[in-house]
A = this chain, B = another copy of it.
Amino acid sequence: MSDLLERLRGRGWRMTSQRRVVAEVLDGDHVHLTADEVHARAAARLPEISRATVYNTLGELVVLGEVSEVATDGRAKRYDPNGHTPHQHLVCSGCGSIRDVRPTGNLLAGLPQEERFGFTLSAVEVTYRGLCPDCA
């Protein structure tokens, strides 16, 4: 994610300390923080950062394709920095933990023509549910 800052600068982003901190907080694999969690971690480094700025920055990262939104429960959206490698999610029904996973095969192909109702398909989102080793 270190080169994320470079990519953003290349896209004409004004580089502010707030945006830098938000991007740093989202660094890593299997990271799926809510906006409030991002805000809390960012505020640990930059106490004055506001919730509105975190929401703004996350929204911009989503538009740029650097981060994707994940809504696995009815609660707050989570933000997944793994935006460049297509993947799906595996969610523990017990503790709610989330792993990034890569199913095999063409997921779009699973929907037969007569079940497409004339739609032009463009994407599939899959959420696998189960119990993690700790909760099983």
Assembly stoichiometry (copies): 2
Q: Does A125 contact B (CB under 8 A)?
A: yes
Chain B minimum-CB-distance residue to A134? B118
Interface assignment of A96: CB less than 8 Å from any CB of chain B = no
CB contacts (< 8 Å) of A127 on chain B: these are 124-126
* Whole-angstrom CA separation of A27 from B71 in the bound complex: 27
Interface residues on A, range: 35 or more
Taking CB as reference atom, which chain B residue is nearest A117?
B99
A38 lies within 8 A of chain B by Cβ: no
Given A125-B127, A126-B126, verify A111-B103 contact (CB < 8 Å).
Answer: yes
The reply on A136 being an interface residue by CB < 8 A is yes
Nearest chain B CB to A94 CB, angstrom units: 10
Are the C-beta atoms of B117 and A128 separated by less than 8 Å?
no
**Given A123-B130, A127-B125, A90 and B103 touching (CB < 8 A)?**
no
A–B Cβ pairs within 8 angstroms, 13 of them: A99-B119, A103-B111, A103-B112, A104-B110, A108-B128, A110-B110, A111-B128, A119-B128, A119-B132, A121-B130, A122-B130, A123-B129, A125-B129
